[in-house]
Amino acid sequence: MKFKKPEFSKLIVIITGLLFIIVLLDIRIATGNGVDVSGYAMQEIITTGSILAASIIFYLNKSKIENLSKGKLRYALLKIRLEIRLKGLLPEDSYATVAGELDEINAMIDSKLDGSLEEAIQAEVDGNI
């Protein structure tokens, strides 16, 4: 079986998750051994937790936009198939109805994709990520 290399964005989430777990284990082991970690424990947890949260948000936004883009491609392929197969077989009004419904789906995908892109850009501008 061939090993598939994970995507870069998944790799970021995995690495930051491991880093967060290592920090938690380090603090747990240090407190178990009686070491005073109050000076840096909270800072480490907040910092690595924030990095993990940011990487998860980045990954979710990226995958949402990818899925919407795939939907856009599926729409284009469906529209081409419709043009090729049904144009001559259906009456003109039936074909226009189906084409109109497909155009509505396309408009919905476009607005969702545009909204997702604007949301991701605005979040980065605002510094929410």
Residue 74, domain extent: 8-126
The letter for the amino acid at 14 is: I
- This prediction has a pTM of 0.63
Position 23 in a domain: yes
The string of pLDDT tens digits covering residues 23-66 is 999 999 999 999 888 888 899 999 999 999 999 988 888 888 78
Position 122 in a domain: yes
Across the chain, what does the average pLDDT equal? 81
Contact 44, 23 (CB under 8 A): yes
How far is residue 80 CA from its own chain's centroid?
A: 28
Position 3 in a domain: no
